[in-house]
Amino acid sequence: MGAGVDAMVSKVSSGTLVASIRKERRDADAFVLDVSFEAPPGITILFGPSGAGKSTLLDCLAGLVRPTTGKIVIGENVLFNSMIHIDVPPQIRRMAYVFQSLALFPHLTIEQNVAYGLRDIGQQDRRARVEEILEAFRIARLRNQRPSQISGGEKQRTALARSLVTRPQLLLLDEPLTGLDAELKASIVEDLRAWNAAKRIPILYVTHSREEVDALGERVIAIDNGRVVSHGAPMDVLDAPRRKRLAQAAGFENLLSATVLDLREPDGVMRIRLGESACEIEAPLAHASAGDLVQIAIRAGDILLASQRPRGLSARNVLEGKILSLEQRGTMCIARVDCGVTFVAHVTPSAVRALELASDKQVWLVLKTHSCHLVD
Amino acid sequence: MNSLSLSFELAGCVAAILLIIGMPVAYWLAFSNWRGKFLLESVVALPLVLPPTVLGFYALLAMGPRGPLGKLWIALSGHGLAFTFTGLVLASAVYSFPFAVQPLMVSFEAVDRKLLDASALLGAGKWRTFQRIILPLSLPGVVTALVLSFAHTLGEFGVVLMVGGNLAGVTRTVSIDIYDHVQSLEYGEANHLALLLLAIAFAVLCLVYAVNRRVWAPAWTRWSAK
């Protein structure tokens, strides 16, 4: 290492992150992180339930934790390769990492915090770069404050500025915007995007919040139990969840077990029976055969409610049932409906009034075939 | 030189030396992952439980003309170590070592590890992280270490008696002076010095506790300095 590595990482280039990492925990509670993925410049979201291994993955990328085996490459810079014993220390990996706790230095001012990573450059250059990023993240007026004197959003802006001022080749964000309201979050993300428009580095953004994925997503990598379970555009990854825990995290309120009755391949559908009930519905065709047990995920917002038996519908699944309970939450009503199995459906308060919905009222549920997602 | 200023000079020397030696030892104890760390911890804490006469006895043997330290010192400087001020400083430093190391170690350990990770990721090596993050955030520990090792050295008796003897102006410290006065039934003088030591001890402890409760600390460290 030493000179060779220095030469390698000092090359200023931004490129795609290519990583394959396997990390076994020594305390061996059978958890193994084993992922391979690519992240091109721009925001890539790492999505998954807590405990899925997202933070461990970031720690490995940053060099804080040494993977058991694997390879980490950004553009042409090899940062880790267990085969040829390359392990660039975190100090010279040129990666920025914003922790969930932000880890601002409490005894330094905002300006000193931001300037911390800049030292091998001249005074003037240094001042200019600090100035530029303080402006870009709208924290210039706070320069002489300490972290304990500023608000949560301002702290997050400071942490981002401190990381990015060093011109890293990769930015790792571990749920950095948790606890901020949506508007504030959006404005910070906008500033981040604006900054990255010119620099074009890969940004890995860890979250378990479905809302953040919708707000940010260009690409999503879904992780569960230490594995990449799917990747692609947010719609593709989250609307067709392949794992139960992921389905729950992605906001599928209805998770039902079902038995496959028969496959109708020409129509691209199959008939399934829900649980032990008499309810039979149509779902998209999947790799299954008659008699198989499967899991079905349905969003509460994808279920229609009718007060009379609907006719002339394209939707194939109409189930008769009785309202168990109605609960208003904000501007939304959560209806629990018993059709032999219990469904959760979301309706608006005005629909509740128009249909005169109430407990014990008989209703019909309408489900589109393609709203019924099969889960592994 | 009277016994009081001799004691102060001794305590000052010991506190300064211990701060310099104590920092790397405390750093290592705080951050090393070596499993045998407890061994060094025990050695450092030994003077806390050992009778000063035991420590003084072995120090005297080591510093005597036939002891390893004594021989080395004679070869280097031409005269012995035992019953000299230098010998006293050495033995006292060993005796007060835990009082310097423990507060430093505790305050180093209390620094949020995430701050150290953040510093490393921003390109700072271990030394820079120590200077710019660990040390400033451990200032109460540094003050405590200085003050406690100073005060502890000021009040010691057994080790000084064993290693230094009772040579006026060379090794006769306040605590030995008090003993002398009592032996000669000069209770007035003994009381005089004893009261002074009592007052100093109280003032020193007030300083330590106030620093650790951050009574004079700048506002930003008091509220939610996490």
A64 touches B at CB < 8 Å:
yes
* pLDDT at residue number A245: 66
pLDDT at A175 over 50: yes
pLDDT at A274 over 80: yes
Rounded distance between C-alpha atoms, residue B153 and residue A56, angstroms: 48
Q: Name chain A contacts of B122, Cβ cutoff 8 Å.
A: 116-117, 162-163, 166
**Which residue in B120, B132, B225 is closest to A106 by CB distance?**
B225
Q: By the 8 A CB rule, do A63 and A223 touch?
A: no
* pLDDT at residue number B85: 86
Where does the pLDDT of residue B159 fall: very low under 50, low under 70, confident under 90, or very high at 90 and above?
Answer: confident
* pLDDT at residue number A131: 93
pLDDT at A236 over 80: no
What is A252-375's CATH number, 2.60.120.260, 1.10.10.10, 2.40.50.100, 3.90.1150.10?
Answer: 2.40.50.100
Give B117 to chain A, closest Cα distance, Å. 7
Domains in chain B with CATH codes: 3-216 (1.10.3720.10)
Instruction: Show Cβ contacts of residue B188 under 8 Å, excluding neighbours closer than 6 positions.
Output: none
* pLDDT at residue number A196: 85
The predicted model gives A341-364 an average pLDDT of 88
Alpha carbon distances (Å) from B81 to A292, B55, B90, B167:
89, 16, 9, 14
Q: How far apart are the first and last CA of chain B?
A: 49
Q: Which helix (H) or strand (E) holds A322?
A: strand A317-329
Where does the pLDDT of residue B103 fall: very low under 50, low under 70, confident under 90, or very high at 90 and above?
Answer: very high
Per domain, the residue ranges of chain A are 3-243, 252-375
pLDDT at B199 over 70: yes
Rounded distance between C-alpha atoms, residue A277 and residue A287, angstroms: 23
Where does the pLDDT of residue A11 fall: very low under 50, low under 70, confident under 90, or very high at 90 and above?
Answer: very low
Give B27 to chain A, closest Cα distance, Å. 19
- In our burial notation (b when 16+ CB lie closer than 10 A, e otherwise), range A82-115 reads beeebebebbbbbbbbbbebbbbbbbbbbbbbbb
Residue A172, helix vs strand vs coil:
strand
* pLDDT at residue number B226: 36
Average predicted confidence (pLDDT) for chain A:
84
Which of A92, A99, A108, A148 would you mutate first to test chain B, the one with the most B CBs within 10 A? A148
pLDDT in tens, A20-34: 999 887 665 667 889
ipTM for the whole predicted complex goes beyond 0.85: no
Specify whether domain A3-243 bears CATH 3.30.1490.20: no
Where does the pLDDT of residue B106 fall: very low under 50, low under 70, confident under 90, or very high at 90 and above?
Answer: very high
Q: Which residues pair with A342 in a beta bridge?
A: A338
Picking from A128-142, A153-167, B114-128, B149-163, which range would have the lowest pLDDT averaged per residue? Answer: B149-163
* pLDDT at residue number A12: 41
Where does the pLDDT of residue A4 fall: very low under 50, low under 70, confident under 90, or very high at 90 and above?
Answer: very low
Q: By the 8 A CB rule, do B211 and B140 touch?
A: yes
The predicted model gives A99-103 an average pLDDT of 91
pLDDT at B223 over 60: no
pLDDT at A241 over 70: no
The predicted model gives A256-281 an average pLDDT of 85
Residue A193: how many CB atoms within 10 A of its CB?
Answer: 14
pLDDT at A287 over 80: no
Give A276 to chain B, closest Cα distance, Å. 51
* pLDDT at residue number A29: 64
Q: How many DSSP H helices and E strands does chain B contain?
A: 13, 0
Dihedral of the alpha carbons of A143, A144, A145, A147, in degrees to the nearest 10: 60
Q: How many CB pairs under 8 A join A and B?
A: 67
pLDDT at A8 over 60: no
Rounded distance between C-alpha atoms, residue A60 and residue A170, angstroms: 13
Q: What are phi and psi of A137, to 5 degrees?
A: -105, 15
User: Between chains, do A146 and B220 touch, taking CB under 8 Å as contact?
Assistant: yes
- DSSP class of residue B134 equals I
* pLDDT at residue number A267: 82
Total count of residues recorded for chain A: 376
A119 touches B at CB < 8 Å:
yes
Among chain B residues, the shortest Cα distance to A62 is held by B121
The predicted model gives A90-104 an average pLDDT of 91
* pLDDT at residue number A3: 40
Q: By the 8 A CB rule, do A100 and A178 touch?
A: yes
* pLDDT at residue number A13: 46
Picking from A144-153, A288-297, A300-309, which range would have the lowest pLDDT averaged per residue? Answer: A288-297
Picking from A45-59, A238-252, B96-110, B129-143, which range would have the lowest pLDDT averaged per residue? Answer: A238-252
User: Between chains, do B122 and A166 touch, taking CB under 8 Å as contact?
Assistant: yes
Rounded distance between C-alpha atoms, residue A204 and residue B123, angstroms: 20
* pLDDT at residue number B28: 94
